[in-house]
Amino acid sequence: MAETELTKEIKKALLYYTKADQAGVYGCYEVCLGAGYGDEYVDFMTMSSTNVFQSYEIKISLSDLKSKAKLSFCGDYNYIVLPTELYRREAVKEELKYHTARGIGILLYGDCFGQKYISQERISRKRTLNIGRKVELMHYMIRSLSRYPVKLAKAVE
């Protein structure tokens, strides 16, 4: 299924919010998790130069939040990213209780006077990942990042 414009906007805003456009933080969209070709995806993941992983799942509607698509919370810190208008709905807050009780953070995407921004609504609780899991996540990010030079090369052909 093709990404909506809103999803694309949120992904771009996450790049800047996480500072993955600067030195010391490495970001990747659509990180494929699992052996071989993988079996699940996380919408955006960052790794810092100190090996701290953060994963972000973007949800733009209540049906998206309730869908059977797995929410892949694999980082030291994990977040659900929602449009502010969606978060204000009582049914959404009820749906999020399950995740927030497990330490998942909430980030909100909004627009104020024409400026797009991401704000932190709820902080993520730190999980402890062992070194083996961190190496796996590095592998998944590298594998997923390898898509970009291939896309670039094909676009030039």
Give Cα 41 distance to the centre of its chain. 10
CATH number given to 5-156? 3.40.1350
Instruction: Average the pLDDT over 123-140 and give the result.
Output: 96
Listed by start position, the domains of the chain span 5-156
Nearest-10 crossing angle of helices 147-156, 131-145: 10
Q: Which positions ≥6 away from 114 have C-beta within 8 Å?
A: none
According to the model, what pLDDT value does residue 147 have? 81
Distances (CA, A) of 121 to 45, 81, 106, 117, 156: 19, 10, 5, 13, 42
Kindly state the tokens that stand for 104.
Answer: 């998942």
- Per-residue model confidence as pLDDT tens digits over 79-96: 999 999 999 999 998 889
Total-model pTM = 0.91
CB under 8 Å to 25, separation ≥6 — which residues? 18, 19, 46, 47, 48, 49
Which tens digit of pLDDT belongs to each residue from 48-67? 999 999 999 999 998 888 88
Enclosing H/E stretch for 15: helix 5-17
Read off the pLDDT of residues 19-37 as tens digits, 9 standing for 90 and up: 999 999 999 999 999 887 7
